[in-house]
Amino acid sequence: MKIPSNHSLCPVLLCLGFICLTMSVQNSIRVERNQSMHLEGEKQAHHRPKRGWVWNQFFVLEEHIGPEAQYVGKLHSNADKGDGSVKYILSGEGAGSIFVIDDSTGDIHATKSLDREQRIHYILHAQALDRKTNKPLEPESEFIIKVQDINDNAPTFLEGPYSASVPEMSEVGTSVLQITATDADDPTYGNSARVVYSILQGQPYFSVDPNTGIIRTALPNMDREAKEQYSVVIQAKDMAGQIGGLSGSTTINITLTDANDNPPRFPQKNYQLYVPESATVGTAVGKIKATDPDIGVNADMKYSIIDGDGLGIFTISTDKDTREGVIILKKPLNYEKKKVFTVKIEGENTHIDPRFWNLGPFKDAANLKIIVGDVDEPPVFSVPFYIMDVYENTKLGTVVGAVTAQDPDNTKNLVRYFMEHNEEAESYFNIEANSGVIRTMQQLDRELTPWHNITVIASELDNPSQLTQVPVAIQVLDVNDNMPELSEDYDTILCENAKPGQVIQTVRAVDKDDFANGPRFYFSFVEGFPPNPNFTLRDNEDSTASIMIRQRKFSRHLQEVYQLPVVVSDSGTPILSSTGTLTIRVCACGRNGKVRTCSAEAYLSAAGLSTGALIAILLCIVILLGAAEQSDVGSEEDEEIMYGLKSQFPNSPSLHIT
């Protein structure tokens, strides 16, 4: 018999006595029932002689612990006259091992203790034989032996221990969990498997429904922040909870889950923060934190600056991981201008549970005093960059300009100036250490370098490591120190048949000086000489001039080349001028103005050919002229070409004039 070891001895003995009494009564009932059946069988034998078995369904109590085999029942055949001539044979499930039969009387006994929870019945077959002939007296018959239940199994919780959760501040009676105990005893027989539940541990916080096993909250307003974990022990007892019933228990670990029933709170109402004036804009300069006993999203909050004279100087962000307010510098600080700021910071929950609005606003505020710390700052220049100018060609030591820097600290340390090392810049300029005055070291040439870029450094006299640099751009201003010139060496072709007033060349001028000292340009012939009888000049008033013919006719035989001096003047102060010479070559031209015969230089100029190309052309012409000369064929044009070539190459043996 399976009895849990945790039960006391008295209930066990009481249970055993009850079982023994029950077995005795049942056996008596079975004997009377079998005898009655036997008599009825004899009466019926007169009417149905072919049916001689007398038997019924048998029962055997489980967990039999007596010293003798347990009597099950009796089989009897009408053919049995009690003289021992009938032999009973038992076969089937458990026959011979569990169940034995007295082959003379038909009495059946169970030799072993049975467990209904392992097997509830056995199917056996009985046969009556003539002991002498061993022939069946009755047809073989089947019968069932059922194992009758006793309360030998305690209720068990198959899934324990259990874990469950319920929101804090839940109403009384809120369902937490339903648990179920199972009892292996027969639920259809007595109260052996009828279970009731009770709570052994966990009161007064929780209760259990005795019939359903549903666990519920029993106290109002259970606060997770006060106690989060509860261990509840539930007992299940069979026999409907009566004395002598068996029981089992299990543990339920119940956790109160968080609800947002607590607003954030700053531990202090007033805080103080030190920030050096050298702090970089955009960086974090401090942190502040409000506490919230809730957890998870219920403790999430956001911070904001809602008031104070530092509202535009500082801002605050929320670190979601640490739930801290990070104070960030928004604008530069200056100790000399403002030494203290105050801000009012608010921390507010981001997830509000409407059930707890009555607890008040889920936010809190604190005052923060920010003290600006004085830092030894480097000198500060009056402007972020300097642009200066100086005329070119000025004498050494000319003042270009001055830079100014001051120590922004209250100490107002003296400042010294020097130039960043640059060989080229140092060759042109120097700076006075005390005054910051920049002077020239040599004459400047705008046409060579129109701009000079230098870097000036200011440092504190008492702390040279505190220094600042500033860029200085120096523009070299122009003076009229370059004469204008003709834009090129003009080599002009003049046809012999050119007409008076005809423009044979347009000239232009250039000047290295800038626009103020250059154009507009003026053109003229050299003064002090009589007017040129061959050419005249017209100033076009657009920095160009036109060269025109004065006489009616030119002859290359009389003069092949003319040199024409032209004076060009600029508009600067003082006015500068120079004289350029035009080379004018006289050539024979057709009526359409196309050059027919000219000097080699003129051909070169007119055709735009190189000297090598011109020599090759001339050699071809010489060959052709030689062939024409042998055939006595010629023309005036040929003579002109030959004349030009001969004059150009007087020592050539292949050229001659006819």
Tell me the residue ranges of DSSP E strands in 80-174. Answer: 86-92, 99-101, 107-110, 121-130, 141-148, 162-167
Which pLDDT does position 217 carry in this prediction? 97
543 and 562 co-located in one domain:
yes
Distance CA(250)–CA(104), nearest Å, equals: 54
DSSP per residue, 150-161: -S----B-TT-S
Which pLDDT does position 618 carry in this prediction? 52
Distance CA(244)–CA(8), nearest Å, equals: 10
**CA distances for 83 relative to 44, 80, 101, 104, 137, angstroms:** 21, 7, 17, 9, 15
Task: State the chain's maximal CA–CA distance in angstroms.
Answer: 191
562 and 629 co-located in one domain:
no
Which pLDDT does position 50 carry in this prediction? 42
Which pLDDT does position 636 carry in this prediction? 40
Specify the 3-state DSSP secondary structure of 302: strand
20 and 127 co-located in one domain:
yes
15 and 133 co-located in one domain:
yes
Q: Which domain holds residue 530?
A: 485-608
**What's the DSSP call for residue 572?**
S
Q: How many domains does the chain have?
A: 6
What are the two backbone dihedrals, phi and then psi, of residue 71, each rounded to the nearest 5 degrees?
-70, 130
- Residues 347, 266: contact at Cβ < 8 Å? yes
How many CA atoms within 13 Å lie on the side-chain side of 244?
A: 15
Amino acid found at 208: V
Q: Look at residues 503, 498, 505 and name the one whose alpha carbon lies nearest to residue 593.
A: 498
Domain edge (last residue) among 339, 373, 407: 373
Q: Which are the contacts of 191, defined by CB distance < 8 A and separation ≥ 6?
A: 151, 238, 239, 240, 242, 245
392 and 330 co-located in one domain:
no
- Tell me if 324 is assigned to some domain: yes
572 and 452 co-located in one domain:
no
Which pLDDT does position 192 carry in this prediction? 83
Q: Which are the contacts of 82, defined by CB distance < 8 A and separation ≥ 6?
A: none
Which pLDDT does position 29 carry in this prediction? 38
Domain edge (last residue) among 148, 178, 201: 148
Which pLDDT does position 572 carry in this prediction? 87
Helix axes 600-607, 611-630, angle to 10 degrees: 120
- Tell me if 176 is assigned to some domain: yes
Amino acid found at 259: A
Helix (H) or strand (E) holding 641: helix 636-648
Which residue is listed with tokens 């000369």?
629
- Tell me if 4 is assigned to some domain: no
Q: Which residues of 293-312 are buried (b: 16+ CB within 10 A; e: fewer)?
A: bbeeebbbbbbbbeebebee
**What's the DSSP call for residue 415?**
E
460 and 444 co-located in one domain:
yes
pTM above 0.95, yes or no: no
- Residues 241, 204: contact at Cβ < 8 Å? no
Distance CA(602)–CA(560), nearest Å, equals: 10
Cis before 520? omega within 30: yes
Amino acid found at 643: Y
405 and 470 co-located in one domain:
yes
43 and 62 co-located in one domain:
yes
- Residues 23, 1: contact at Cβ < 8 Å? no
Which pLDDT does position 159 carry in this prediction? 87
Distance CA(594)–CA(607), nearest Å, equals: 11
- Tell me if 262 is assigned to some domain: no
123 and 181 co-located in one domain:
no
Q: To 10 degrees, the CA torsion angle through 323, 329, 334, 338?
A: -50
- Residues 130, 137: contact at Cβ < 8 Å? yes
Amino acid found at 232: V
Give the CATH number, domain containing residue 123: 2.60.40.60
Domain edge (last residue) among 105, 125, 148: 148
Segments of the chain scoring below 70 in pLDDT: 1-56, 599-658
Helix (H) or strand (E) holding 39: helix 9-45
- Tell me if 264 is assigned to some domain: no
- Tell me if 1 is assigned to some domain: no
Distance CA(151)–CA(193), nearest Å, equals: 8
Q: To 10 degrees, the CA torsion angle through 289, 295, 296, 297?
A: -70
466 and 490 co-located in one domain:
no
Q: Show the 3-state SS of 307-343.
A: ECCCCCCEEEEEECCCCEEEEEECCCCCCCCCCEEEE
286 and 307 co-located in one domain:
yes
Helix (H) or strand (E) holding 453: strand 451-460
Residues paired with 597 in a beta bridge: 588
- Tell me if 623 is assigned to some domain: yes
